[in-house]
Chain A
Amino acid sequence: MSDTYRKTFTGPHLLGIAGLNRLEVVALLDRAADFMALNRQRKKHSDELSGQTLINLFFEPSTRTQSSFELAGKRLGADVINMAINTSSVAKGETLIDTAVTLNAMHPDLLVVRHSASGAAALLSQKVDCAVVNAGDGSHEHPTQALLDAFTLRAHLGDLAGKRIAICGDVMHSRVARSDIILLTLLGAQVRLCAPPTLLPSHATDWGVEVFHDMKEALQDCDVVMMLRLQRERMTSACVPSTREYFRYFGLDRAKLRAAKPGALVMHPGPMNRGVEIDSEIADDPQISLITEQVESGVAVRMAVLTALAEGQT
């Protein structure tokens, strides 16, 4: 690894994609490529974070993101602890800042935070002395997910400049969508959004993306189709009439995918609602589905982020 890119990412925290520049992003993605190779070896250990403490602070339940960060930390030799907060201190009335101050006294080096409130990771970062990684805050950002999406796509498509990427589904409530839109446009991709207007922010057209309400129009000539999870509570609210109507008009199936370029790639941040936003036939098609590959990329990207932040602190 050359020193030039190592020094490119200089922020003390990773709170969002907003605020990163193209060089920083490319540096992180290049760094992740090295870890991808490491993760495919039988001996997956590195000692880059040996002696350091990583705390996974999850105020919202999560399986894949939490285990991905845990694995990333452990493979780098860090001491990792997971704190599932919903069952402990918060139940006793402790505020987010109280928790932060308490944890800070334990001298962690890296704090990975997920919280249901937008802006929670940023607030926490102001109260602790260590590096904070936002693992998803409300409907705001989920930067490591966007990085792993971009990483996965670069592995298949090379440079993303000029590539057409449709992000479909509940953009309104999705932190993944917000981070992806910023990151993919930063890398030069042409991003399209497709959802019923009830699931789109009213001013999405100002984000430098094209907005569609019809899947076939949206997918026309796309290289990539990225599906978003429709959260169960949205299905019964006033946003969407029913799951069958949602799947009929906005669920990705073979017929709709035909509008995209032949061989267009399909992504999903997981966990999937099969038969709601994506047909199993598509999700399980190894020719086009990158869904499991996204999970693999996730560990490497998170190792890259953790090492970059750790170096920034020294």
Chain B
Amino acid sequence: MTKAPNEPILIAGARLVDPASEHDAIADVLVKNGRIESVGSNLASDGARKIDASGLVLAPGLVDILVKTGEPGAEQRETLRSAGEAAAAGGVTTLIISPQSDPAIDDPAMVDFIKRRGREHAVVHIVPAGGLTKGLSGEHLAEIGLMRDAGAVLFSNGDKAVGNTAVMRNALLYAKGMKALVSARPIEPYLDANGVMNAGDFAARLGLSGLPAVAERIMVERDVALAEACGTKLLIDQLSTRAALDVVRRAKARGVCVHCSVSVHHLTLNELDVGDYRTFARLTPPLRTEDDRKALIAGIKDGSIDAMVSGHDPRPAEEKRLPFAQSSPGAVGLETLLAGALSLVHNEELGLHDVLRVLTCGPAQLLGLPIGEIKPGNSADLVLFDKDVPWVCDAAKIRSKSKNTPFDGRRMQGRAVMTFVDGCCVFGD
């Protein structure tokens, strides 16, 4: 994507919140040649274009792990271009792309393809994740080494868990030798075969088959045990239950190199949001109970959760305008990730620092990427946002090609004003 010419920019007078350095004060940031040149007060503009940012918050651009688009294979859902625009509007500057496409990203040529398409079409950074197994079938190891060298930063089996424990063990062992990060979605394939929403009283009343919370816990227990035995770094992708989080918390306490992410939807919504069979609230993992939601918030507060993600999974009307059980699970989230996260701040459930940590330096450190931090020399990937501005989420106005947001109609507070990628303004100019 051709970006605007790289003129120097001085972002002046913003409240600079950088969780990595725990900086929180009014400061100026000078951007030159796409990088952060200096951070300080009353910086001379030095011929740079000055942006008056008083009253706004300046933070590192958000890093979103395992985003699905429809490219390649289902471009009617989303392309890298449309996902990039949605991300920019949401203050997200780096997307780790899920390998779950058609065909799957399971060889170095596909990794290269995603990188190239991202470079040419998206306004934000597009970073591919590789498949953990060939075709995400859960049977044969994918070429983790070759994909790593081609630029894949983590290895995932998409929404599908590797059901065969021996294969998962081999994948973790092999990844360790390649110094690669493995991400696992904790879904026990047999218990979760037919469910469409969280198993419990509400599902029973609605007459919908349930996805039991214990299915998630079983897989987290399994994968943490395997990672511990193999000595491999593991990311549990999108936890949703208290019990599973407890497993991760205990493992971390005994020094296991395990991390976890949680989606903004699971932090802000619960199973009751399914309401009257709203298919936009059908997600994988499903929205859980209020008790689970509160446990996840506590997990962010105490540092057990490393990353908050959008869980972006675009599904067009033809996949959602169906009876609940026949609809596809998934929600778009790139554009609402920041606002959803800020609602936790406004509801006094989390502090601004807690929220920004898991959106910026948390995921960046987990991936080992030099992003998510405002310091001289780093790429100028930044978001300038109004923390307090009220607005109403209207699915029709979402930039994604698919409009399936569970926040549709919801009153939101706070949104991105400007987004910068490599020092170029990609949104809000």
Hey, which bits of chain A sit against chain B, CB under 8 A?
Answer: 195-198, 213, 236-242, 244-245, 248-249
Contact = CB atoms under 8 A, between A and B. Distances in A.
Interface string B125-164: 0000000001000011111111000000000000000000
A197 B173 contact: yes
A164 to B, nearest CB: 21
- Chain B contact residues: over half helix, strand or loop, or mixed? helix
Contacts of B177: 195-198, 213
B170 A245 contact: no
Interface string B309-350: 000000000000000000000000000000000000000000
Contact of A241 (B141, B173, B176, B230): B141
Contacts of B174: 196-198, 239-241
B396 interface: no
A196 B173 contact: yes
Interface string B164-180: 00110011011011100
A198 B145 contact: no
Interface residues of B, number: 19
A238 B171 contact: yes
Given A196-B177, A248-B145, A241 B170 contact: no
Nearest to B232: A197
Contacts of B230: 197
Which of A195, A198, A242 neighbours the largest number of chain B CB atoms within 10 Å of its CB? A198
A240 B173 CA distance: 11
Contacts of B178: 196, 213, 249
A238 B143 contact: no
Given A197-B230, A238-B140, A238-B167, A245 B146 contact: yes
B141 A238 contact: yes
Nearest to A236: B140
Nearest to B146: A245
B166 A241 contact: no
Nearest to A240: B141
9 contacts: A196-B173, A197-B174, A198-B173, A213-B177, A237-B140, A238-B141, A238-B166, A241-B142, A245-B143
A241 B132 CA distance: 10
- Chain A contact residues: over half helix, strand or loop, or mixed? loop
Given A236-B140, A240-B174, 4 more contacts: A198-B141, A238-B141, A241-B142, A248-B145
A238 B145 contact: no
A238 B170 contact: yes
Contacts of B142: 241
Which of A198, A237, A241, A249 neighbours the largest number of chain B CB atoms within 10 Å of its CB? A241
A250 to B, nearest CB: 9
Given A197-B230, A238-B140, A244 B173 contact: no
B85 to A, nearest CB: 35
Contacts of B166: 238
Given A197-B173, A197-B174, A198-B174, A241 B144 contact: yes
B154 to A, nearest CB: 16
Interface string B41-61: 000000000000000000000
Contacts of A198: 141, 170, 173-174, 177
Contact of A245 (B145, B167, B171, B176): B145
Given A196-B177, A197-B230, A239 B170 contact: yes
A248 B146 contact: yes
Given A197-B230, A198-B170, A242 B143 contact: yes
Contacts of A236: 140
A80 to B, nearest CB: 43
B144 A238 contact: no
A197 B134 CA distance: 19
Contacts of A196: 173-174, 177-178
A238 B173 CA distance: 11
A231 to B, nearest CB: 16
Closest 3 pairs between A and B when the two form their complex, measured CB to CB: A213-B177, A197-B173, A238-B170
A241 B173 CA distance: 12
Contacts of B173: 196-198
A241 to B, nearest CB: 4
A236 to B, nearest CB: 7
Contacts of B145: 241, 245, 248-249
A197 B144 CA distance: 13
A196 B180 CA distance: 12
A232 to B, nearest CB: 15
Which of B170, B171, B177 neighbours the largest number of chain A CB atoms within 10 Å of its CB? B177
Contacts of B146: 241, 244-245, 248
Contacts of A213: 176-178
Nearest to B133: A238
B355 to A, nearest CB: 37
Interface string B249-261: 0000000000000
A213 B177 CA distance: 5
A31 B346 CA distance: 86
B302 to A, nearest CB: 32
A249 B149 CA distance: 11
A249 B175 CA distance: 13
Contacts of A237: 140
A241 B170 CA distance: 10
Nearest to A237: B140
B74 to A, nearest CB: 26
A239 B134 CA distance: 13
Which of A198, A238, A240 neighbours the largest number of chain B CB atoms within 10 Å of its CB? A238
Which of B144, B145, B176 neighbours the largest number of chain A CB atoms within 10 Å of its CB? B145
Interface in B259-295: none
Contacts of B176: 197, 213
Contacts of B134: 241
Nearest to A246: B145
A277 to B, nearest CB: 15
A238 B139 CA distance: 7
Contacts of A244: 143, 146
